[in-house]
Chains A and B, each alone.
Chain A
Amino acid sequence: DQQVKQNSPSLSVQEGRISILNCDYTNSMFDYFLWYKKYPAEGPTFLISISSIKDKNEDGRFTVFLNKSAKHLSLHIVPSQPGDSAVYFCAASANAGGTSYGKLTFGQGTILTVHP
């Protein structure tokens, strides 16, 4: 059973426009969410995160939104740049009470292509 789902395998966007990547989760115990970015032949790199006590976190061109009632989060990239072309993974963790060791459950990934 896929507890974290990224239903769009790919997304194509024009340079300068907004990229919106979506992620849904089913496990209500998840309380910390992250986005990782992965270039070909490299390992994933941490991009941005959000705790379940917030509904928005912003870092430069990247903003993550969390809708707990819908069990949905999204990553907005504005403006998109060709260098943003990569695979984006959504990940979730259940950290409440400090009982989790940091185990991440990943989505399948979305391939983002930003055209010049």
Chain B
Amino acid sequence: DAGVIQSPRHEVTEMGQEVTLRCKPISGHNSLFWYRQTMMRGLELLIYFNNNVPIDDSGMPEDRFSAKMPNASFSTLKIQPSEPRDSAVYFCASTPFYGNTEAFFGQGTRLTVV
């Protein structure tokens, strides 16, 4: 049974470029989360989707960040334009249903913006 799949695993890009991170949640899971991990702020929630609908995007740092979930098996997190301070590990996680906290995490995408 495949877990949460994220791609790419590593991304190095130049400042100002657009970056797109991808996530495939576990089949049948209705809830999807995007988290960001940095040394300074630890793991912080960026956005939450339930049944493909964004429910809480209060953690999205600024307008340069956007996330979509066009269907139940795919989500993207886009940064445009990227900045060096966006360098972090970005995790996608899914849970079977609304309110469940025992999230299954992907392996993460390590983003480096130079």
The count of A-to-B residue pairs whose CB atoms sit within 8 angstroms is 63
The answer to whether B45 touches A104 (Cβ under 8 A) is yes
User: Size class of B's contact patch?
Assistant: 20 to 34
The answer to whether B55 touches A101 (Cβ under 8 A) is yes
Residues of B within 8 A of A89 (CB): 42-43
- Alpha-carbon gap, A102 to B102, bound state (A): 8
Residues of A within 8 A of B48 (CB): 101-103
Identify which of A95, A102, A103, A109 contacts B42 (C-beta below 8 A): A109
What's the minimum C-beta distance from A104 to chain B, rounded to whole angstroms? Answer: 6
Residues of A within 8 A of B101 (CB): 32, 34, 49, 91, 93, 95, 102, 104
Closest to A108 in B: B42
Query: Is residue A116 within 8 Å, beta carbon to beta carbon, of the partner chain?
Result: no
Residues of A within 8 A of B33 (CB): 102
User: Size class of A's contact patch?
Assistant: 20 to 34
Q: Known interface pairs A43-B107, A109-B42. Does A101 touch B102 (Cβ–Cβ under 8 Å)? A: no
Query: Is residue A70 within 8 Å, beta carbon to beta carbon, of the partner chain?
Result: no
Closest to A92 in B: B101
Closest to A89 in B: B43
- Alpha-carbon gap, A84 to B56, bound state (A): 34
Q: Please report which residues of chain B, range 7-60, place their CB below 8 angstroms from some CB of chain A when the two chains form the complex.
A: 31, 33, 42-45, 48, 50, 55-56
Q: A98-B99, A103-B48, A105-B45 are in contact. List 20 more A-B contacts (CB 8 A).
A: A34-B102, A36-B105, A43-B105, A44-B43, A46-B103, A46-B104, A89-B42, A95-B101, A101-B31, A101-B48, A101-B50, A102-B31, A102-B48, A102-B98, A103-B45, A103-B56, A104-B45, A104-B103, A106-B43, A109-B43
| Residues of chain A having any CB pair with chain B under 8 Å | 32, 34, 36, 41-46, 49, 89, 91, 93, 95, 98, 100-109
> What are 14 sample pairs from A and B whose C-beta atoms fall under 8 A apart?
A36-B105, A43-B91, A46-B103, A98-B99, A101-B31, A101-B99, A102-B48, A102-B95, A103-B45, A103-B56, A104-B45, A105-B45, A106-B42, A107-B42
